[in-house]
Structure formats: C-alpha cells, structure tokens
C-alpha cells in the first residue's frame, strides 16, 4: 500500500507537494470516487487512480538533465502559452516534470524526472542540496558586499541561509560572481543582489549536487548515467 500522493509522484504526475495540491483540489479519484484526504492509501495492483479523468500508471523512472535557455518557463502547463522546458524533451516517452525552478530570464542546468520522491528531496531545504550559479552583475561588488551576501540577506520572506560567494571577474561596468547555495526560493539570487542595490544582468545555473552542465548547449539535454542517479539518491538520503 502506498500513500496516494506518493503513488502519484512515483507515477510521474508531479512532485509530491504538487500532488498533494491536486488531491486537495478534488482532481484525484480512486475507484471512481473523489479523494481529498492526504492520508489515503492505495494498492497499485488493485485500485484505479485517475487525475482529471485520466488513468495513472507507474512508469520506469527517467532522469534527464537539460540546459534551459532563457525565455522558457519551468512548468508543465502555462496558461499564457509560453515555451516550456518540457517542450525540449518531447522525444522522451515518459511524462517528466521539472525539479525545482529557474525563472523565465535565467538559464542553465535543470533536472526533469518522473521520480517524485527524489524530486521532493532535491528541492526540500532540509536535505541541503547545493546549487551553483554564475551571476553577471552591473558592477563589481566590494569585499564587504560579498561577505554580506555570504552571511545571508534579509528578504521580505525572511533571511537567506549562508552561502559561498567568490568574485571571478571584475570590470568597470560588469562583474562575474559564482554563488553556491542550498536554498531555492522564487528568484532568490536576483532578490539577494537587488537588496544591496545590484542588478543581475545574466543568471546561469552550472551545477546541482553532483551534476555539472558540462558541454550541453542551450536547449540540449541528456539522460543521467546510472552512477549519477545513484549519487543523487545518496545525497538525497534515499537507499
């Protein structure tokens, strides 16, 4: 027996948190009855589960790394009709969803999978999964600014956790900074720098946990190797 939200996540419907939202919204049926209780359990071999009237079945676990270009939204559905990261992996037969987010104007490494439990752990702050970004700023930050960013910035949704920051290149009208952090709030990197009066000209994520963007070009993707998946699961404290 599996909890309903976990079963939906393992079937590749969405992350576990998103599956809980679907259940609360009354969009999930078990054996023809709408279920809104998160504690509901199902037997995958016996019970019929549907989301929005479509039957749910377990699929082989699939893990894909994509270079998200700027101008794509990190979502499965977009009511405004914008380009989605899932459009880049249409040749993959499994239904995938993005792990975490990169905002519309940002680019770089993004994971897509149908492994809901792993996706949940990779995005939950308790597991402290690292993410590394290259940040192009409108001017060069001084050492005190770098220390303030590293120590944590107070934002409208609370203080940020400590992170690692280093200046890679400085110039008269721009600078390149590398920042590694464990949090993943909405537009967090941009908001951290904006709080100190800086504008982020370009934001590129280059690494997540043990994975690096490598030679992928914008719009390209590749499947993860077995060893990469094993290491990800170890970092997420999954057996």
Cite the active site residues. Answer: 103
Given a contact cutoff of 8 angstroms between Cβ atoms, the answer to whether 98 and 208 are in contact is no
Other beta carbons within 10 angstroms of residue 133's beta carbon come to 22
Question: Between the CA of residue 123 and those of 151, 163, 221, what are the distances in Å?
Answer: 21, 16, 20
What's the first-to-final CA gap in the chain, in angstroms? Answer: 19
If we measure between CA atoms, which residue out of 79, 157, 70, 155 comes closest to residue 108?
70
Given a contact cutoff of 8 angstroms between Cβ atoms, the answer to whether 162 and 143 are in contact is no
d(CA 101, CA 90): 19
Question: Between the CA of residue 228 and those of 58, 177, 210, 216, what are the distances in Å?
Answer: 22, 27, 7, 16
Q: Which residue has the tokens 């993707």?
A: 221
CA 20 centroid distance within chain:
17
Q: Which residue has the tokens 């676990």?
A: 61
Other beta carbons within 10 angstroms of residue 237's beta carbon come to 9
């Amino acid at each position: 027996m599996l909890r309903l939200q976990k079963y939906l996540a393992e079937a590749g419907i969405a992350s576990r948190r998103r599956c809980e939202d679907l259940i609360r919204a009354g969009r999930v049926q078990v054996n023809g009855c709408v279920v809104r209780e998160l504690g509901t359990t199902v037997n995958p071999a016996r019970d019929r589960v549907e989301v929005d009237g479509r039957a749910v079945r377990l699929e082989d676990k699939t893990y894909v790394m994509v270079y998200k270009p700027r101008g794509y939204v990190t979502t499965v559905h977009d009511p405004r009709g914008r380009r989605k990261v899932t459009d880049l992996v249409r040749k993959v037969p499994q239904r995938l969803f993005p792990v975490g987010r990169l905002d519309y104007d940002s680019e770089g490494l993004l994971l897509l999978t149908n492994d809901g439990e792993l996706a949940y752990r990779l995005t939950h702050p308790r597991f402290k999964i690292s993410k590394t970004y290259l940040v192009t700023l409108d001017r060069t930050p001084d050492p005190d600014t770098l220390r303030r960013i590293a120590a944590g910035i107070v934002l409208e949704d609370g203080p940020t956790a400590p992170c690692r920051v280093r200046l890679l290149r400085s110039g008269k009208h721009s600078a390149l900074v590398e920042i590694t952090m464990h949090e993943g709030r909405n537009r967090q990197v941009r908001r951290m720098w904006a709080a100190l009066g800086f504008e982020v000209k370009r934001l590129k994520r280059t690494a997540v946990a043990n994975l690096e963007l490598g030679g992928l070009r914008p719009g390209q993707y590749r499947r993860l190797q077995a060893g990469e998946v094993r290491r990800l699961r170890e970092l997420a404290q999954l057996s």
